[in-house]
Structure formats: structure tokens, C-alpha cells
Amino acid sequence: MNTRRSMVAGNWKMYGSGAANAALVDGLRQGLAGLGAAAGAVDTLVCPPFVYLAAVAGRLADSGIALGAQNLCAETGQGAYTGEVAGEMLREVGCSHVIVGHSERRALYAESDEIIARKYAAALATGLTPILCVGETLAERDGDQTSAVVARQLDALIAHCGVAALGRGLVAYEPVWAIGTGRTATPAQAQEVHAFIRGRIAAHDAIIAGSLRVLYGGSVKAGNARELFAMPDVDGGLVGGASLKAEEFVAIVAAAAV
Ligand code: 13P
């Protein structure tokens, strides 16, 4: 038994509209209220696209559901960075968290371990809690490279930000082959990598490793959440597709409350 609080976070990716988001948030509020005290045992977070953050923040008021962004600029403050959004701006519109280094950003937007570490540092510098995503591709898993890839991703962060920075954020293990594919890691596969992540960090600082929350992401649904979250080193989930359906997301939160 550990004392880490579970978190269930929804990454809405590039989905939604003003009307759809309003309906989703209202459904979440109603569904989570229906869980009663159980909902209070889990931290919940939604991460809409940038342009909807302010509206969703308003709709979430007093719900206990936190707001996060999916990305941020590696530079802080203001500046000539066309198309970028600074951590301070995310804070101003109500974000407490930000996802950093999602595999879609690594693969489709060529984000390197170094830029991701700089974004993580920018999040901390602006008062945001970063959620660092790590994970291997199918080819890397098949090539027995899972540990090496995850170690490289973590080591780059620690080299740039220092291990103490991990004490102020979360890590999400998201095997790329399980994202949006319907193919979830088995609980044993997830546990193995989560334990590896914790061990890698423990080599630097056992206290930080012990209190760090490591979320699992990749085709989490109401039907598989409970067995994943039952693993000793799985502290909740980072949910994509299923976070767009209020009923599914609420059921996943309920699974984390057990
Ligand atoms: P899916 O839950 O749709 O597989 O997405 C996972 C993910 O990428 C969350 O960040």
C-alpha cells in the first residue's frame, strides 16, 4: 500500500468544439458528483486544446476538476514566438498542469528530449505542474529497447532539470503502440515499466521516487482501468479517447478510487 493519491487526467487532443466541450464538462460534473465521496479520493484533470482553455475553466468553476494544457512554449515570459503559448499565459487562464513530451509531439513535431526538458523547466518556472510523458514505440519494444528508451527520456530530463524537478511533477508512461490503437498494455507490462521508472529515479533520490505519481496512458477505458490501477506502481491514468465521453471518464475515475 502506498500513500500516493491517484490521478485521472483527460487529454482531449485536437478534439472538441465550444458546444461539445460544454456538454462534456457538464456531464463530468454531474457524473463525478454522482460518485460522492469516492470522487474526492482521486485528482481529476482535463486538458482541452489551447483555444478552449478559458471557456472550459469557467465551466469547471468549483467542480474540483483541474485544468491543464497539452503543451507550452519552452520560453517563458513574452516574446516574438509566433504560434507559441507561454506558461504564464496558461496560468492566467486557469491551468494548474501541463502535458510535456507527449509521443505525438515527439513524433509529429520533432520534439527532442532536450526541448522537452526545457518545456518541463518552463512549466515549473511558471508555477505549472508538468506531466512528463515517456514511452517506447512498437519497434523499440519488439527490439527489446523499452528500458533503454524510457531511461534515455528520463535521464535527459534529470540531466537538464535535476532530479528534484521530478518531485514537482508527474510522469506518464504511454507506450506508443497502445495509444489510440485499442491495444492496451497488460497490467503486468505496465507495472514492469512503472517499476523501472521508479527505480531509475530512486537511483538518484529514493524519496522523490517513492512519492512520484506515475500514470499509465494508452487505450485506458472503463473496462480495463481497474486492473491497470490495481498495479502497485500505477497511480492513475492519462486518458485520450475515453476522456471525451463523460460516462467513460467518470467510470475510470471510479476505478481509480477503489
Ligand atoms: P488513448 O487513450 O486514446 O489511447 O490516448 C492515450 C494518450 O495519448 C493520452 O495522452
Q: How far apart are CA 141 and CA 121, in angstroms?
A: 29
**Residue 44 falls inside a structural domain:** yes
253 located within any domain: no
According to the model, what pLDDT value does residue 2 have? Answer: 77
CATH of the domain at 218: 3.20.20.70
How many Å lie between the centroid of ligand 1 and the Cα of residue 225? 13
Q: Which of 205, 256, 236 is nearest to 40 (CA)?
A: 256
Closest protein CA for atom 1 of ligand 1: 240
Can you read off the three cell numbers belonging to residue 56? 472550459
Give a yes or no: residue 256 inside a domain.
Answer: no
At position 146, the amino acid (one-letter code) is T
250 belongs to a structural domain:
no
Is 101 touching ligand 1 by the criterion CB < 6 Å?
no
Is residue 184 in a domain? yes
Q: Are 135 and 107 in contact (CB under 8 A)?
A: no
pLDDT tens-place string over residues 162-200: 999 999 999 999 999 999 898 889 999 999 999 999 999
241 lines ligand 1 (CB under 6 A): yes
Ligand 1: nearest atom to the Cα of 243? 2
Nearest-CA residue for ligand 1 atom 5 is 240
Residue 17 covered by a domain: yes
pLDDT in tens, 117-143: 999 999 999 999 999 999 999 999 999
Q: Is residue 143 part of a domain?
A: yes
Name the domain count of the chain: 1
**Residue 237 parent element (H or E):** strand 236-239
Domain span at 71: 6-240
CB atoms within 10 A of CB 194: 23
The yes-or-no verdict on residue 1 having pLDDT over 60 is no
Ligand 1 lined by 217 (C-beta under 6 Å): yes
For 83-124, write each residue's pLDDT tens digit.
Answer: 999 999 999 999 999 999 999 999 999 999 999 999 999 999
Instruction: Give the tens place of pLDDT for each residue, 36-70.
Output: 988 899 999 999 999 999 999 999 999 999 999 99
